[in-house]
Each structure stands twice: as C-alpha cells, then as structure tokens.
Structure 1
Amino acid sequence: MKEIRAYIQPFMLSKLTQTLLEIPNFPGMSVSDCEGFGRAKVIDKQDYTPFVPKKRIEIFAPDELVESIFDAVMTIANTHQHGAGKVFVINVDEGGRICTGERGNELA
C-alpha cells in the first residue's frame, strides 16, 4: 500500500475529483487546505507573505492502483504554469480501521 500525497491549485480540485472517481475501485481521499511556498516565492505587494494557498490531497491506495492515480493527478492537475503543484508516493507499512479493529498493509 502507498500514500499518494498531492499539493494542487484549489481550482483544480473539482476536475481532479471527477477524474479520480472514474478509476475502478478508487479507495477515496482526504482533502485539506494548506499554504506554502517552493523555490520561487510569490510575494504580493499588499500582503507581504510568500505563502500560496493549495489543496492537500491524501490517498491511500493498493499498489496496483498507484500508477493510474499518480498519472491522473499529474495530468489533470497540470495548469501548465509554475506552481501547479507536487505529487509524492510514500510507502505505507501498516494501517488500521478504527471501527473494526482490523490491521494490515492492504486496508486502502
């Protein structure tokens, strides 16, 4: 099992969600608001802060779905502009389902 963690432009979330829901057996995702900056900092003349709003997406998926989910994020969330976002794939050793007490490495 892997975690696919993506940071994308907020206005791309709806389009990306629709695409991900079309993937057979898509396991679901969590979305949260976040702010940050990369190598190129954007400083608005009136705000004086380098932080840019993004959406953070976390998807825990079985290994066989990782490639299709990763490709979808890379393709659909691409604005063809600097700052479109980043995607990471992270190994997950184990997970647990709180309501049932299940544990294992395939609980996506």
Structure 2
Amino acid sequence: MGQISNVVIIFNPEKLTDLRRALKEVGLSGMTVTRVDGNGLQGGTVRYYSDDKVEVDLLPKIKVEVIVPGDKVDEVIEVTKKVLKTSETGAGKIFVYDVSRVIRISTDDEGLDALNS
C-alpha cells in the first residue's frame, strides 16, 4: 500500500469557493468541510454592539480535510497556498497527517484502491 495523507486546511470562510474550485482543478473532488471557530496568532477581534465594546476571542473559520495519495500532498499544499495566501496574519494553516488505513465500505477496497475506486 502506498503512502496516504490527510491534509487539513483551516482558513477564513470567504475563500472556501476558491479553494474548492482549485482543488477540483487538480483532481480532488472528495473533501470534508466543517465550520469551526478558533484563533491563532491574530487572536480575537473587538466588535461593537449598540456602542458596547465586545471582545470576540474565537473567529469563524473553515476546516477542509482531503485524503490524498502521498504523491499529491505537495501539489495540494502549493495550490492551497496560492489560493489562501495573504499578507495578513490569520490567513490559515495547513496540517499533514499520515493515514494508516483507508477502507471503502461499499466495496471493501483498501488503501489507494479505496481512494481511487
């Protein structure tokens, strides 16, 4: 079985359509998208409601997970950076994890066969 990775991308919601389109262009149509709240180096933000100052510690983010063969990881990372990169802190993060086993339930295929069938 070849290497398989889980690429997790956390970023600002307004870039979701662009990222989905770019990943599809490199042949990745399967992904899991989750709406999450969090903060990193940028911390929170200050908002005003009826002249009351409110500190918001957790900001809305999107988490995309794609399971890919090891030879596609660098391509996914480069496409993601191209779409999401800004000069602002808080543009996002990419995490890559090894996947020890993948099984397609409907066919019992495992490993790369489970990804490609």
Common fold, TM-score beyond 0.5? yes
Unpaired runs of at least 5, structure 1: none
Structure 2 Cα separation of the partners of residues 45 and 104 of structure 1: 47
1:47-96, Cα deviation, whole Å (9 max, x unpaired): 43300111000000001111111111111111321100000111111011
Query: 2:41: which partner in 1?
Result: 39
User: Max radius of gyration: which structure?
Assistant: 2
Mapped pair 1:62 → 2:64? no
Unpaired runs of at least 5, structure 2: 49-53
Percent of aligned pairs with the same amino acid: 25
Count of residue correspondences: 107
Mapped pair 1:22 → 2:25? yes
* Contact 2:5 2:69 (8 Å CA) reproduced: yes
Once the two structures are overlaid, the 10-residue window that deviates more, 61-70 or 97-106, is 97-106
Q: Which amino acid aligns with 2:69?
A: P
Query: 2:51: which partner in 1?
Result: none
Structure 1 Cα separation of the partners of residues 67 and 35 of structure 2: 18
SS in 1 for 2:55: coil
1:2-49, Cα deviation, whole Å (9 max, x unpaired): 0110001100111111111111x3252111100111133113244433
Query: 2:103: which partner in 1?
Result: 96
Structure 2 Cα separation of the partners of residues 61 and 51 of structure 1: 30
Q: Which amino acid aligns with 1:52?
A: L
Give the structure with the higher percent helix.
2
User: Aligned-residue CA RMSD in angstroms?
Assistant: 1.7
